[in-house]
Amino acid sequence: MIEGLQIFGEYQNLLPTLLKIVFVVGAIFYLIYTFVVFRQVQVMKKTLITSFSSIISLLGLINLLLAVVLLVSFLLFL
């Protein structure tokens, strides 16, 4: 039984490493998506002027900053 588990000894760090890579790549894609949404909000703000467009712009900026924090935290702590 123990001899069978020793087969996976050299691959025991493979799964955590793959998960870290998946999380970092996912955070990069989310950052790109958030940047595109932020740019669309800026274009919408120029096109459609309303009383709450500054609030929507602020929410887009907060979302972009949180995506940057998420990526940095994944890079530092995973």
* Predicted TM-score (pTM) above 0.85: no
Collapsing DSSP to helix, strand or coil, 22 comes out as helix
For residue 78, the Cα-to-chain-centroid distance in whole angstroms is 13
34 and 64 in contact (C-beta within 8 Å)?
yes
Q: How is 58-77 classified by DSSP, letter by letter?
A: HHHHHHHHHHHHHHHHHHHH
- What's the pLDDT score for residue 9? 67
Structure token pair of residue 32: 């790109």
- Going residue by residue through the chain, which has 78 residues, state the pLDDT in tens, using 9 for 90 and above: 555 556 666 777 888 889 999 999 999 999 999 999 999 999 999 898 888 889 999 999 999 999 999 999 999 998
